[in-house]
Structure 1
Amino acid sequence: MAALALGLWGIDRQDSMWRDESVTYQVAHRPLAELWGLLGHIDAVHGLYYLLMHTVFALWDGGLVALRLPSVLATAGAAAGVGAIGARLSGRLAGTLAGLVFALLPVTQQYAQEGRSYALVTAGVTWATYAFLRAVREPGLPRWWAVYGLLLGLSCWLHEFAALALVAHALTLWRLRVPQSVWRGWGVAAAGVGLALLPLMVVSSGQADRQLGWLGRPSLSAWLQLLAMAAVTLLLARLLRRRSELTTLAVPLALAPTGLLMVVSLAKPWYVDRYVLYGMTGPALLTGAALAHAIRHRHRLAVPTRVLTACLAAGTAVAVLLPWSLLVRSPESRKDDVVAVARAVEASARDGDAVLFLPARRREWLLSRPAVLDRLDDVALAESPTASHTLQGTELPAETIRRRVLAADRVIALTDPAGQPLDPFPQEKIKREVLGTEFRICRRTTVHGAQILVYARPGNCP
C-alpha cells in the first residue's frame, strides 16, 4: 500500500513529461500497423511495452495518469514481491520492512512515475526471483521452475537486460552448493528463457547502433556509485552473516547485473542505470533484514533509549527521504519537459512559421503535442515518423534544407541548452550555418532542458 500511495502522490509531476515518456506516448497512440512497422526499424526492445501501452490508451486515454499508472501498479507489485522474498528468508517483519524500504528508495519512486518499462521489468524479475527461491527450497515441485521461466522470459521481452538476472541467480546457486537436480531445473528454465528471447535478440541486434549509439562508456561517477553500492551491500551482508541464504540471494542480485553490464560497456557502451533497476531489490532485502534484527534486539535497551532511538531514526529518514521524494516529482528531476517546450513554442510562434529542430531528434519535443506542431512549417522534414517507420521522422538533404530555410521570413528553432555537444552531420551543420549568417535572434526562451529561439531576417525583429 505504501508503494501504491507513493506512486499516486503527484503522479502528473506538475503536468510535465520528458522526451523518453513522450516517445512512449506518441508511439503508443500510433495504429497497430504503423507501430509494427516502427518495431522493424527501431525500438524492438520496447515492443511489448509499446503494445501494452497501446492497449491502455485504447481502453482509457487518460493522458499523463494513464501513461504512468502501469508503472505505479508494477512498483507496488515489485514491493510486494520484495516483501514476499524477505518474509520467506527472514520472517514476516523483515519482509514487511524490506518491501517498505524498496518503496521508499528515491530511485524506486522516480521510476514508479515514469512512462517507460523499467518498473514493469523490476516487478517481473522480483517475482521471478520469488519463484526461483521456491524452486530451490522445494525441488520436488518443478512447477516453480516453469513459473520462474515464464516470468523471467516476459521480463526479458519487456527489456532484454532482464536476462542478466540469470547471472545473479546462477551465482546464488553456486554459493548455496545446491544438488545437481536443482542445477538441472534452473538450466532448463534458463534455456527456455534464452530460446524465448532469441527472436527479439536477432531483431534488436540489427538495431543496436541506432538504439544505443548515443551511449558512452560508464563515467567515473557511475563507477564510484557502483563501488559505494558494493560497499553498503557487503557491509549489510557481513552484519547478517548468519542469514546466509538471504545474503547469498541479495548480494548477487544487487551487484552482478550492474557490474557485468558496466564491464561489457567498456567495449560496447550499453550501460544505463535504469536498465538494471531491478538490482535495487538486493539492498532493500538486506536493509529490511538488518532493521528487523535491530528491532528484535531492542529489549537490550532501556525504554527511554528505545523511544529516543526510534524518534531519531524516524526523523533522520524523513529528513533524508522527503527532499528526494519532492525532487523526483518535479519537472527538474528529468532531462527536459516537453510540455513546457510546447507551451513556450505556442507562445512564441505564429501560424505558418518555419520550425527547425537542432538536432533533428528534438522533434520529439513537439510530436506528442501535434496541435502545436501542425501550426508550423517543418522545413527540414522529409518523411513523418509514421510514414518513415521511425521515432522522429527523416530529414531532407542539407542543400534542400538550406533552400527551404532561406525561403522563410521567421524561423522557430528548438535547441538543447547552451554548452551541449553539437551534432556533426551535414543537415545539422547547414541549419546552424544558415541561421547564423542569414538570420538574427529576436527572442530566446529558456525552459528546463531546452531553448526556443525566434529568428528573423536582420532588421525584422519586432
Structure 2
Amino acid sequence: MPSSAPTRTASVVVRAVAVFVMTTGLVGAGSWVPTQSRDEAATVSAVTRTWAQLGQMLQNVDVVHALFYATMKVWLDVVGISTLTLRAPSAVACGLAAGLVVVLGSLLFTPRAGLLAGLVMAVCPRVTLVGTEGRSGAWFTAAAVLLVVLVVLSARRPSALWVLPVALATALVGGLHVYSALMLPVLVVWLWAPPDPEGRPRRILRLGLPPGRWPALVGLLLGAVPVVVLAWRARGQQAQVDWIDPPTPESLAKIATEPLAPLNGLWAVLCWAMAAAGLVWLSRHRKGRRGTTFLLVGWAVVPGLALITVSAVWTPLYSQRYLAFCVGALAVLAGGGIASVRRRWLAFCLAAALPLAGTTTYRDQRTVDAWDSWGQIAAVVAYRGNPGDAVIDYPLVSAITVSYPGALGTGPVLNAGADRLSRHYLWDDRLPLSAVEPRLRGVQRLWYLSPVADEAQRTLEIRRLRELGFSGDLLERSDAEQTWLFTRTAAQAERGDLLLRTPR
C-alpha cells in the first residue's frame, strides 16, 4: 500500500527533474525524422513573416494560435528554422508536462505514485506524438498540468499571492488552445470541496467558498477573461475547423482510446485499467483527499463529453487530437493505481507493460512519413522530374513548398494565384485549371498534385488534360494526395495549343 507520509519537497523536485530530462530525451529522440506536417507548414508560414504581416494574417485566420505563433517566431528568429528547431520546444514541453505530473501525483497521492505517474506520462503515445510536431499540442498539455498543480497548491497553502500565478496559467492554457478552457469548470467546482489535510468535513456557505480558497477562484476567473475575448474574436474564423467531421459511431467508439493512445488501443486499455485501480485506492483513502476523484475524473472526461455534445447539437468541433490536455489526469490516476499494488514484482510488471505496449507506436511515430507523405512526393519529383517541369497543385498539397521550398522543383506553378503574404493568409491562392488553361501552351511535362478528397475536380481536370494531348501516370498515392506526371510530345503540344484557341 502506498505510504501516507507527507510529501518531501526536495525528493519530489529531484524526481520531477529526472523525469523531465528523461521524457525530453525520449520524446526528442528521432523527432526530426518525420517530414513536417501540414500543420507545421502553417507554423512555418506564420513565423516567416514580419510582425506586421503576422498581425494582418491573424485578422483572417488562426487568431486562436496567436500566442503560439508569436512565441515560435521569437524562438525561430534566433535559432533558425529546421525540422529539429521547429520541434524542440514541443519535446521540452512534453518533458515539462511529465515533470509536473510527478509533482501533481505526489500532491494528490504519494511521492511514489507521483513518480510512476510521470513515467506513465512519458511513454503515453499521445505525448510522444505531440512532441514530434511543431504545434501547440505539447504546450497546452503541459500548461494544463501546470494550472492544476497551482490550483491544488493554492488549496493546500492558502495565500492571496496565488491569484496572479493561477490567472497567468489560466490565460496561458486558454491562449494556447481555447478548447483547454473546458477544464476550468471542473477546477471551479472542485474548489468548493478542496482536500483537508486532517480529513475534517468543511462547512460550506450556500454561496461561499471554504476559507482560503478565494485566491484560486479569483485567479481562474481573471485568467478566463482574455480566453473569452480570444474565443469571441475567433468566432468569425470558424472556417478553419471546417475539416472536422460530425461525430460518427466509429469515432465515438474510440473516444476513450484515441485521445490517449492514437492507433494503440492496447496501451489505452492498460492505462484505463490502472486508472481504475487508482480510483479504487482513492475510495479507500479519502482522508486529506476530498474531491480528488472528482478533480481527476472531471479533468479526464468532461472536456471530451462537452466537445461531443456541442458537435452533436451545433457544429462539429470534436477532434481527438484536441484532448491531449486531458492526458495528465489519467497519468496521475494510473500512477496511483500502480503504486497501490502491494506486491512489488506485480507493480513492476504493470509499470513495464505500458512502455512495452507503446514500443510499436513509438517506432511508427518516428518514420519519415509518420505525419505526411511529403518526403515520398519530393523523392518522386526528384527522381522523375526534369528542371523546369511545370506544376499544378492545390492548397492542401502546395503547403509542401512552405516547409520544403525546392520539393516540387524549380518549374512554374501554372495555377498560382495571389501569394500568401499579399492575401494575408497561410497559403498561396490556387486557381482551377479552367482559369489558367492558356498557361499550358508549350508545356510538355506537367506535375499534377491533387488532394484525394477533390475527386470530382480531379476527374474533370485530368479529362481536359488528356484532351489537350497529355498522357498521365499516377506515381504516388497517399491517404491525403495523389501525384501525377503528365507528358506530351512537341507535336501533341502544338495540337493541344490549337484546342486552347477554340472556344469550348
Above 0.5 in TM-score? yes
Q: Structure 1 residues 339, 49: CA separation in 2 closer, same or farther (over 3 Å shift)?
A: farther
Q: Could you say what secondary structure the match of 1:411 adopts?
A: strand
* 1:331 is aligned to 2:368: yes
Distance in 2 between residues matched to 1:234 and 1:436, nearest whole Å: 61
2:379 matched residue in structure 1:
343
* 1:84 is aligned to 2:103: yes
The Cα offsets for residues 135-189 of structure 1, whole Å up to 9 and x where unpaired, read as: 22233x1222321121120121111111111022134335657842356444432
Q: Structure 1 residues 442, 89: CA separation in 2 closer, same or farther (over 3 Å shift)?
A: closer
Q: Supply the AA of the counterpart residue of 1:192.
A: L
1:261 matched residue in structure 2:
307
Q: How does 1:100-179 map to 2 (within 5 A)?
A: 100-139=119-158, 141-173=159-191, 179=204
2:402 matched residue in structure 1:
367
Q: Structure 1 residues 37, 56: CA separation in 2 closer, same or farther (over 3 Å shift)?
A: same
Q: Supply the AA of the counterpart residue of 1:258.
A: G
Give me the TM-score of the superposition, normalised by structure 1.
0.87
Distance in 2 between residues matched to 1:172 and 1:355, nearest whole Å: 57
Distance in 2 between residues matched to 1:410 and 1:328, nearest whole Å: 35
2:497 matched residue in structure 1:
none
The Cα offsets for residues 402-426 of structure 1, whole Å up to 9 and x where unpaired, read as: 333466332101134xxx432667x
Consecutive unaligned residues of structure 1, counting only runs of 5 or more, are: 299-305
Contact 1:152 1:162 in 2 (8 A): no
Which protein has the bigger helix share?
1
Bigger drift between 32-41 and 314-323 goes to 314-323
Q: Supply the AA of the counterpart residue of 1:217.
A: P
Contact 2:277 2:338 in 1 (8 A): no
Distance in 2 between residues matched to 1:356 and 1:273, nearest whole Å: 33
Highest CA radius of gyration, 1 or 2? 2
Of 444, 452, 471, the residue aligned with 1:440 is: 471
Q: Supply the AA of the counterpart residue of 2:252.
A: W
Q: How does 1:23-422 map to 2 (within 5 A)?
A: 23-61=42-80, 63-139=82-158, 141-173=159-191, 179=204, 180-181=208-209, 184-209=214-239, 211-227=240-256, 232=273, 236-244=278-286, 245=289, 246-266=292-312, 267-294=314-341, 297-298=342-343, 307=345, 309=346, 312-313=349-350, 316-334=353-371, 336-357=372-393, 359-373=394-408, 375-396=410-431, 399-405=434-440, 408-416=443-451, 420-422=452-454
Count of aligned positions: 441
1:2 matched residue in structure 2:
22
Bigger drift between 28-37 and 239-248 goes to 239-248
Q: Supply the AA of the counterpart residue of 2:356.
A: A
Q: Structure 1 residues 403, 247: CA separation in 2 closer, same or farther (over 3 Å shift)?
A: same
Q: Structure 1 residues 448, 227: CA separation in 2 closer, same or farther (over 3 Å shift)?
A: closer
Contact 1:7 1:112 in 2 (8 A): yes
Q: Could you say what secondary structure the match of 2:209 adopts?
A: helix
Q: Supply the AA of the counterpart residue of 2:249.
A: L
The alpha-carbon deviation at position 193 of structure 1 amounts to 2.2
Q: Structure 1 residues 101, 151: CA separation in 2 closer, same or farther (over 3 Å shift)?
A: same
Distance in 1 between residues matched to 2:460 and 2:424, nearest whole Å: 25
Q: Supply the AA of the counterpart residue of 1:76.
A: G
Contact 1:19 1:337 in 2 (8 A): no
Task: State percent identity of aligned pairs.
Answer: 24
Q: Structure 1 residues 423, 196: CA separation in 2 closer, same or farther (over 3 Å shift)?
A: farther
The alpha-carbon deviation at position 208 of structure 1 amounts to 0.9
Q: Supply the AA of the counterpart residue of 1:286.
A: L
The Cα offsets for residues 175-227 of structure 1, whole Å up to 9 and x where unpaired, read as: 65784235644443233123212442233111112x11111112323312235
2:16 matched residue in structure 1:
none
Contact 1:441 1:454 in 2 (8 A): yes
The Cα offsets for residues 256-297 of structure 1, whole Å up to 9 and x where unpaired, read as: 111111211112111112212110111101110111111xx2
Q: Could you say what secondary structure the match of 2:482 adopts?
A: strand
Q: Structure 1 residues 290, 62: CA separation in 2 closer, same or farther (over 3 Å shift)?
A: same
Q: Could you say what secondary structure the match of 2:446 adopts?
A: strand
Bigger drift between 179-188 and 142-151 goes to 179-188
Distance in 2 between residues matched to 1:315 and 1:126, nearest whole Å: 24
